[in-house]
Structure 1
Amino acid sequence: MNILFRFGEAHNLTFALPFGSQFSYPYYFTSKYVEDFSMTGKKEFHIMCHHMRFQLTEVEKVMPSDTFYFTILRNPVSQMESYFSYYNSQSTFLGAKSLEDFFSNTSKYYIGTKSSNAKNSMAFDLGFDNNGRESTKHFKLMCQAVDIMFDLVLLSDYFDESLVLLKNALCWTFEDILSIPLNRRSKHTKQALSKETQEKIKNWNQLDWNLYVYFNRSFWNKVDNFGRKRMENEVEELRTKRTEIAQLCLQGEVDPNQMQDKSLKPYQSGIARILGHNLMPGLKESDSLLCQKLITPELQYTELLKNRAKMKV
């Protein structure tokens, strides 16, 4: 999101923004959730990137006909471990001591219609029933539907390779896809999972697992078409540029309580401890502006974009 925010700002593009921080998630997205949108208005939107439960027909009402659609998936095993850390104090996971405890008592903890984060969360976000049928035919139809709706499906597990494919698809530069990792958890809130628990996660999230397997295969087919050696070279260049900008901008990654600029403190959730960054002192004005935007969290950046949009009116 930070990459898209900065690109849109740099090119004076118009964002389709939610009234809050998300498009009324977990409800299906509808065009009425977009600030300043009107079916009879002439305002053109260029980027829509806030969290939503996807509904193509409604998105198409807001965005131009030549919109490039892309999304990102994550290995359901690591995603579930992360969700438990973020949402353990909410509904589904409330009271569960661990993921092992959750899977030993799913009938106790899992309340289907209220638990989009605890079962097939990616299928849910893409607009499907996360408690839907689990059959080979259903898996195939779901994967084909996503393949048709989206021009590119990225994988967070291979984030740098994903950014290179995105850069190539959009004719962007390395500077356009430059980023500093945000929303990372401190290591002590991460849980190592046994093989048995990993298998339980796959079985529990069969829709998500089949999505991931399908698009993992198609992702590497795209890498093959791009060229493995070319990909290797571009990933290396991207990582070099990221290291350079991090050395210029950052003193280091710190606990939120140790952040010098409290206005850039990331949102905290559950037992997860989300780390922030401190900037190098004495930066040149131009460098300081870029560095600050690179570490601005989603919620604060959204407010900046909303204020910018009001000034343009």
Structure 2
Amino acid sequence: MKMNKLGSSDIEVSHFCLGSMTWGTQNTAEEGHAQIDRALDAGINFIDTAEMYPVNPISAETVGRTEEIIGQWFARDKRRDEVVLASKHSGEGMQHARDGAPISSDTIPGAIEGSLKRLQTDYIDLYQFHWPNRGSYMFRKNWTFDPSGQNRAETIAHMEDALGALQREVERGTIRAFGLSNESAWGLTQWAAVAERTGGPRPISVQNEYSLMCRLADTDVSETCVNEQIDMLAFSPLAAGLLTGKYQGGKIPAGSRLSLNEDLGGRVTPRAFEAVAAYLEVAQKHGLDPVQMALVWCATRPFMGSVIFGATSLEQLDVALGGADLTLSDEVMADLDAAHKSHPMPY
């Protein structure tokens, strides 16, 4: 398993990261624990979660349950030192956390304490803001994105306020490093600049959606990541399961994400299935498993720190883990580029 240092930090993570957002809805605690065991045995040392997890669905009754499941594993196995743990502070509008309050110096200490209690640990290695207070163009909002209503002065003041609170948490030892999620190139640059000016923790990562079918990060965000030493953590690298091929031909497997979310968060379009077919053809041509091909392709990107994937069964997990040491040939990469040019932005 290849290891990478995140951003400018000394935190070393596996280039595959185990996602946890189904633990507590689609997966039981026992299944989540089994996934952690299997992943660590395969060389993964990185687990990503969030205070609002699980999803499918998100509800007041389940918020925080995934962190509790991870905490139970820590209490059972006493292997906290073997895991780089990432969690997230929900952004403005998340009604099941602090009645939807925006991220601020008032919310950060309590949110961290809540996560620490549920996780049964004294510290979080990477603490991330789940989405910006000012909003985000992620999750298909790029099609109608309009930043003209933003207030630059308020945004910068918020960053200064939040970084002050985060620095106090670093000094307390409750978090080791700071990361962002669903952030833009401009936002990343401003967070880095404010951190340098104020002495707050500099962001070392950004967790954005990224896959063969969602490549919004390829230009401005990738340039920012490289120049500002902010590594990307790709989420939905399998396009919410589309790139596995299991939904082709109108199939909806029982218990699958599509059986619970009829449009996969806006990803289900006729063009999406056409794009999937093109990528499946590349995998078949070169004798590759499409899941492993998609994950490894993400890991090859020059701005990538780790690729976050989830599984709802050990069988799915084993398929993904089987690609950990896979190398894609120049011919495969060229065919993937050609498929992308033929099927850009399918959703």
Category of TM-score, reference length = shorter chain: 0.3 to 0.5
**Greater share of residues in helix:** 1
**Greater share of residues in strand:** 2
Give TM-score scaled by structure 2 length: 0.34
The structure whose Rg is larger is 1
Give TM-score scaled by structure 1 length: 0.36
